[in-house]
């Protein structure tokens, strides 16, 4: 069986590339047993390593299984190639504020997500603007308790939800009070086709994030991850804002693993 050099790419949700540290990282080794269950040892974190993905906006897709398969193998001329992976927290301007985190992953739109992982879960500790003083205003969110993005072992049928209060945080340079709500559902398992390579069994993980200010209207966004043992994220689809269908068929953003492609 092929030996993988896995990294965590599942937490990133945008097309911006986080600069990678030197020296070249030592990659952990992990061999998938293909039992359709992902535990913490099958999602190792390789800080400083990257995987490449084809990425594009406004994509149609089918999330329902057809003959046990999802087909995301179509190559499109307007696809871009992005490299994504975790970097060390210690080098970031907000490191002393988000001290409970272990590593950082690009969250898109000039933002970073701060995470740590243990045997129980992959935890989101907060979100911060990559620059301390960006033109659009600083963002700094440190959760009073981390959000479980994935709970181990990851198995089909898992469902969980969590709500965390946001008090006196800063979003785009402005103070914010309210809540972040996260709902996660491991919907099913099947064979995933991406350009030039297939993964089986992959787990399809659906998330729904809702931000509710103490005054004003809420905003929500859905996301689907396809995950494989020892590899992490194989593909990702993100919905348009306030999408109501968990199996949405139009993705504001879609990316798939790009075998042997460099950015």
**The length of the chain, given as a count of residues:** 263
The mean pLDDT of the chain is 90
Nearest Cα to Cα of residue 34 among 204, 194, 220, 230 = 230
Q: Where are the domains of the chain?
A: 40-254
> pLDDT, tens digit, for every residue of 25-39?
666 789 999 999 999
Strands 69-71 and 174-194: parallel
pTM of the model: 0.89
pLDDT at 88: 93
Segment 155-184, tens digit of pLDDT: 999 999 999 999 989 999 999 999 999 999
Q: Tokens representing 69? A: 């398969």
Query: For residues 187-205, b (16+ Cβ closer than 10 Å) or e, as one string?
Result: bbbbebbbbeeebebbbbb
**Residue 242 clears pLDDT 70, i.e. is over it:** yes
- The per-residue pLDDT for 262 is 85
């Amino acid at each position: 069986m092929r030996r993988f050099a896995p990294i965590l790419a599942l937490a990133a949700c945008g097309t911006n590339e986080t600069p990678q540290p030197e020296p070249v990282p030592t990659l952990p080794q992990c061999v998938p047993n293909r039992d359709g269950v992902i535990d913490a040892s099958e999602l190792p974190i390789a800080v400083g390593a990257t995987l490449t993905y084809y990425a594009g906006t406004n994509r149609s897709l089918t999330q329902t299984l057809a003959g046990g398969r999802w087909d995301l193998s179509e190559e499109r001329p307007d696809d871009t190639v992005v490299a994504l992976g975790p970097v060390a927290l210690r080098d970031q301007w907000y490191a002393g504020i988000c001290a409970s985190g272990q590593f950082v992953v690009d969250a898109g739109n000039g933002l970073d997500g701060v995470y740590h992982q243990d045997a129980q879960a992959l935890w989101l500790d907060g979100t911060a603007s990559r620059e301390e003083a960006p033109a659009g205003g600083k963002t700094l969110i440190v959760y009073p308790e981390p959000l479980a993005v994935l709970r181990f072992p990851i198995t089909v049928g898992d469902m969980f939800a969590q709500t965390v209060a946001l008090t006196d945080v800063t979003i785009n340079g402005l103070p914010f009070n309210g809540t972040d709500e996260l709902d996660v559902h491991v919907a099913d398992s099947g064979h995933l086709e991406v350009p030039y390579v297939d993964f089986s069994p992959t787990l399809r993980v659906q998330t729904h994030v809702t931000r509710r200010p103490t005054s004003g209207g809420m905003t929500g966004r859905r996301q689907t991850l396809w995950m494989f043992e020892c590899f992490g994220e194989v593909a990702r689809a993100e919905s348009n804002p306030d999408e109501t269908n968990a199996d949405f068929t139009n993705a504001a953003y879609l990316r798939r693993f790009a075998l042997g492609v460099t950015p």
